[in-house]
Structure 1
Amino acid sequence: MKDLDLTLDYMENARFNYVYGTAVARMEASIFSTLEKLCISMIYHKFVLREGPRTRYMTVQQLSGFIRMMFKITDPRINHRIVKTISDDPNCVDPKFHPDRHCTLNSFIKMLAIYFSNDLDRRMRFAFSVYDEDGYGFMNRETVMRYIDAFFTGDDEDEIFEMRADMLELLFQKFDKDKDLLISFEEYCDTVRKQPELLEFLGTVFPSKNDLDVVGLCCNLHTH
């Protein structure tokens, strides 16, 4: 195919087309076209090149920086959870790959597909998986409180403690339908379908439309 990036020489473009063209052809169906996936692959490839010519994968540090700088998701806990959720690729069998250190191309494209999707069910699954730190399919009061802690800061410890406690009770009244002191995925989805503005009730997971537009322009995602 025609060279996508004129900053790369002929040999590097040929190598990109061979490695990433084959990878894209093997990917499952996506909201992105083949050309869009190749353009995303070029962005991914540029990150990989920064780690040296023998590197195969984007690092989790690079992924975290991308999410922080491009998507403005700066909360350390949520940024870390997004990176961990995204970089866990069970389909990668390369012995050099480790999800605590790397992010595959497939995972990177899936992340962008989630962010550019308007499918509420898909967005709910992703947001809940980010909040659900233990992966149990539900969140207890301790898990929810860890996120609430970041909502309130100040010098008056008693006032801060009271506001955090009030927020915790308010959220469980809203989401915990069966009053078992747990917020299940089903309860979360039921509440968010009625009030979509509660999708990110424990902190920002998704970028703004303006930030998506910038990433879409950089990746040539014209149809999105």
Structure 2
Amino acid sequence: MSASLDSTLDPMEEIRFRKKHGAMWVDIQKDTHFSFDELEQIMVIFFKIQKRDEKSPGTDLISRGHFRDVLHNGLGMTDAYMMERVMVALDRGTSPFVTMATFAKAMSLYLRGDLDERISYAFTCYDLLSEGYLRRETMYQLMKKSLAKSSRDDDVEEAVKELVDIMLKRMDPDLDGVINFNDFRESVMKTPSLLESLGYCLPERPAVFAFLATWCPKWGSM
């Protein structure tokens, strides 16, 4: 373990931070792809955010707004509509705050998550009504939001309908008119490019590499 987590933090402040939360991190680490040392560095990012977060009621919480800033500015996730779905997928609660555990698990997913984790997460983002399957209407709404940014209004309607028909043909093997989780998973396993076919809910690889180079430069030597 390094003597100091971050040179910009006051040494005594850092010691208090590690002493207060170290035991909690042992449990959190089990649900991530991080080593304990790596998780400590992730928690330093959390701590820096919390220090600037005037709305946070304590050192184990940050506001959702500040968490969205990390996703937007740090990981290039700029789709405002999809960000609402991302928050539901990461934390199904209604609290306006994000816990250390949620932050760590989100960073683990975005920086180290395997395909199975990403599939489950993406499906939850797309399942607008929490029904366990994607209806034609749900797919239409998601695709319309995505295409509306780059197309004229009068072009969107027909294009979305055609895309939804194509997606159903590719991802609905039992032809029941909906895509359940197994349909979605099997389709993505065969064709990984379908993972974000209904909206961008994950950071692109260049953004992940840039984030790691900026915030976790020591990881390559660990």
| Rounded Cα–Cα distance in structure 1 between residues aligned with 2:137 and 2:218 | 40
CA RMSD of aligned residues (A): 2.2
Select the residue among 43, 48, 51 that pairs with 2:50. Answer: 48
The aligned length equals: 214
Structure 1, unaligned runs of 5 or more: 89-97
| Rounded Cα–Cα distance in structure 2 between residues aligned with 1:16 and 1:99 | 27
**Aligned pairs for 1:165-176 within 5 A:** 165-176=161-172
The verdict on how the C-alpha distance between 1:14 and 1:182 changes in structure 2, with shifts beyond 3 A counting, is: same
Aligned residue in 2 for 1:213: 209
**Aligned pairs for 1:1-224 within 5 A:** 2-29=3-30, 30-52=32-54, 55-56=58-59, 57-88=61-92, 99-117=94-112, 119-153=114-148, 154-155=151-152, 157=154, 159-217=155-213, 218-220=215-217, 222=219
| Rounded Cα–Cα distance in structure 2 between residues aligned with 1:103 and 1:207 | 19
The verdict on how the C-alpha distance between 1:221 and 1:63 changes in structure 2, with shifts beyond 3 A counting, is: farther
C-alpha contact 2:134 2:180 (8 A) present in aligned 1: yes
Deviations 1:34-88 (A, max 9, x none): 1100000000011111124852311111111111112212112211111222234
Shift of 1:109: 1.1
C-alpha contact 1:86 1:103 (8 A) present in aligned 2: no
| Rounded Cα–Cα distance in structure 2 between residues aligned with 1:155 and 1:207 | 26
Counterpart residue type for residue 13 of structure 1: E
TM-score (norm 2): 0.87
The verdict on how the C-alpha distance between 1:110 and 1:221 changes in structure 2, with shifts beyond 3 A counting, is: farther
Percent of paired sites with the same residue: 25
Deviates most, 70-79 or 49-58: 49-58
Counterpart residue type for residue 120 of structure 1: L
| Rounded Cα–Cα distance in structure 1 between residues aligned with 2:95 and 2:169 | 36
C-alpha contact 1:63 1:83 (8 A) present in aligned 2: no
The verdict on how the C-alpha distance between 1:222 and 1:5 changes in structure 2, with shifts beyond 3 A counting, is: closer
